[in-house]
Structure 1
Amino acid sequence: MRQFSVIIAVAALVAALPLSASGQAYSWTDEDGNVHYGDSIPPEYRDQEQRTLRDGLEIERTDRALTEEEREELRHQEELAAEADRVAQLQAERDRRLLSLYASVGEIERVRDDRVDGLRSQVRLTASNLESLEDDLESVESRLDNYEGRDEDPPEYLEERYENLANQIVDRQQQLMDLEEQLQQVRDRFENDIERFTELQAEGR
């Protein structure tokens, strides 16, 4: 009953106001949160919340203008929402691909084992090549030491051979590290695939 009385009082107040040329009245909220009524909105309140009234009824509402901090926060929230949507779309695409590639967990494990075995073979081959290069380097280093022991300058080709072997060893060491990293990445990726595939199967997809 009290709420109805307030509505009637507001309508009566608006009806008592002088109307604008369009027969409308306006209300606005000041910086302290107080609501005002009139036939026009003062310029200093154009950015505040305002309503257009006709016969005491609201026909249009305009929210107050956002502050710079609020606009920045709104942009941030929109960016977060867009990123969340992008991630969800990527996950949905990965799920479709996973279900189209494999029929069972066992099949995923077989593909994983094939990939792991292939990388292990590369690791063994690279490690063997590295060991051979290190042996060659040791041999060249021994020959260089002999020249140094005789206080003679070693031939230029021997020094070039030593430098070339040293560079190859550095390259093979890096290749070995890269292969070990790839091996771990493959294990992790297939572990995640198995976990996700199991979840999708439990969901009945």
Structure 2
Amino acid sequence: MKLALAAGIALALITAAASGQVYRWTDEDGNTHFGDAPPGANTQRVQPQAAPADPGEAQRRRLETQRQLREFERQDREAARQRELQRRQQALQQRLDEIDSRSNQRMCQFYQDRIENARSELRRGYTADRGRTLRQRIERDQREAREYCR
């Protein structure tokens, strides 16, 4: 009789625990816990998933979870690849900008030198035709220099 009573109480407790609520909470250290009673305000009620009766279903769930994990990893790799590609493109653009700047500086200096040489020649003396040609070259070179000397 006592054995039957103890078995009945144990069965009632197991049934109550099995049908009870499951709670999930995260402590202040960021650790996630599960239990049958809520410890505080940061608790969520969750529904535990019952183990499937069909072993094939369990295998399918496991495979789906693995597939999802591989997909997340693939997405992470793709995002990292995109970040690296963007970093390389920025470095290349910066290098091209540096080259372009140096090229502009050289062209600016080239036209300034040509203008100074033509002015120097004008100061030394010239024929009327040569003077007109030098003044036209100075005007043309000044227009070109404006393009590069910014």
Structure with larger Rg: 2
- Shorter-chain-normalised TM-score: which range? 0.3 to 0.5
TM-score w.r.t. the length of structure 2 is 0.35
TM-score w.r.t. the length of structure 1 is 0.27
